[in-house]
Amino acid sequence: MHIRSTLPAWAYKRTMPNINSDRYSLDLKPKIESSCCGPIATANIILYLAQHNCSRLIPLSYRLDENYLLSKLIETLGKEMDTTRSGTFSDGLTDGLEKYVKDRGYKIRIKSAGWPYSAKYKDEKVPYPEWIMQGVLGSYNSILWIGIYEYNSAKNYYKRQGGHAVTVAGFIRDWDELLVHDLRSSDSKPPDHYFLYKIKDKKLIHKDGEPVQASICFEISDDPLYNRKDNGKIEVLEGALSFEVTPK
């Protein structure tokens, strides 16, 4: 159980990078060019850690200039995570992250919450806001796994259409508000604000037609009062990843 009262009122890692396709000229291989949210969400944290006592996470050969560094880092992470045009599977992200870090001489501890991840890293069944907030404090960093669902009025359910990954850079505790760096944002001044609301009366269906079995799900909104325009699509917090990198 994660006790809310033990968390600070807010936290934000101001130096966390925010790789955004509108701000950088990324030269990526075609196979990951349109579906690199997983590698980019991870790359933000790798760059942050490289600036905070884990410099070997970025090879010297990548450091010719900023765009080259970002392109090589994202391309390498995408290869380790088996990213394709269809995206990155959750287990591919965790396994690729673990390999990338260990290959550069560091130890890594990974914890996960939510249904996309395998039992290998599972710490919680539900990605509660408090679990995610705890997962960005101190030496830990976190990535969110988001499902994009579209409403089917004929069958009265929301069916998963795709997924997305973002970097968590902080939170505001009392609003269940996460401060994230999202490559989809065109705003040059991060963070984006994700407010979490427990889903009550919406039926969620996987792509294969099977119902989502999670006992508790959270919908993501950019409005603290949930004044969301219903355009037939919702974003659902499916899982979260928290990890710590340390010297061997």
Length of the chain: 248
**d(C-alpha 44, C-alpha 39), whole Å:** 9
Closest residue by Cα to residue 163 from 181, 180, 145: 145
- Partners of 143 in the β-ladder: 167, 241
**Does this model's pTM top 0.85?**
yes
Tokens of 37: 């949210």
The predicted-structure confidence for 194-239, as pLDDT tens digits, reads as follows 999 999 889 999 999 999 987 789 999 988 876 666 678 999 999 9
Q: Which residues of the chain have pLDDT under 70?
A: 1-3, 21-34, 64, 186-188, 226-230
Helix (H) / strand (E) element for 78: namely: helix 66-80
Gyration radius of the chain over CA positions: 18
The pLDDT of residue 2: 62
Closest residue by Cα to residue 168 from 103, 87, 225, 242: 242
- Does residue 135 contact residue 111 with C-beta atoms inside 8 Å? yes
The pLDDT of residue 102: 98
Q: How far apart are the first and last CA of the chain?
A: 30
Domains and CATH numbers, the chain: 4-247 (3.90.70)
18 Cβ neighbours under 8 A, 6+ residues apart = 44, 167, 181, 185, 190, 191
The predicted-structure confidence for 146-167, as pLDDT tens digits, reads as follows 999 999 999 999 999 999 999 9
